[in-house]
Amino acid sequence: MPTYDFRCPSCDHTFQIFRPASDTSQVTCPMCDTAAKRVFVPVGVVFKGSGFHNTDYRDRPTASPECASSPDTPCSPSPGGASGCDCTGCPGAE
């Protein structure tokens, strides 16, 4: 449940209440039993940098691998004894 800040207009007492967002009942001051008003406080979130939306939600390029193996590891040989790899730049291609 969220925490809400309230201030009494009569005695200027500030207090917090835990209650559901759907609860719209009147809140009274615990000190003087007068109807309290909700205090809105700024949220402590700061977005810095080149743009969180641009970096997090951009289309990521799909890598189309030319070879199933890494450049340091040759392709696995096929049952016939040949490397079975026909990609260019692969250490297993002959």
pLDDT reported for residue 41 = 81
Query: Residue 17 has what pLDDT?
Result: 93
Threshold 0.75, pTM exceeds: no
| 62, part of any domain | no
Domain total of the chain? 2
- Residue numbers of the domain that contains 72: 67-94
Do the domain assignments include residue 49?
A: no
Output the pLDDT for position 45. 81
Angstrom distance (rounded) from CA 20 to CA 63: 47
Position 52 in a domain: no
Tens digit of pLDDT for each residue in 1-48? 889 999 999 999 999 999 998 998 999 999 999 999 999 988 788 777
Output the six-digit token pair for 64: 């189309």
Distance CA 66, CA 82 (A): 18
- In terms of C-beta density within 10 A (0-12 exposed, 13-18 middle, 19 or more buried), how is residue 8 classed? buried
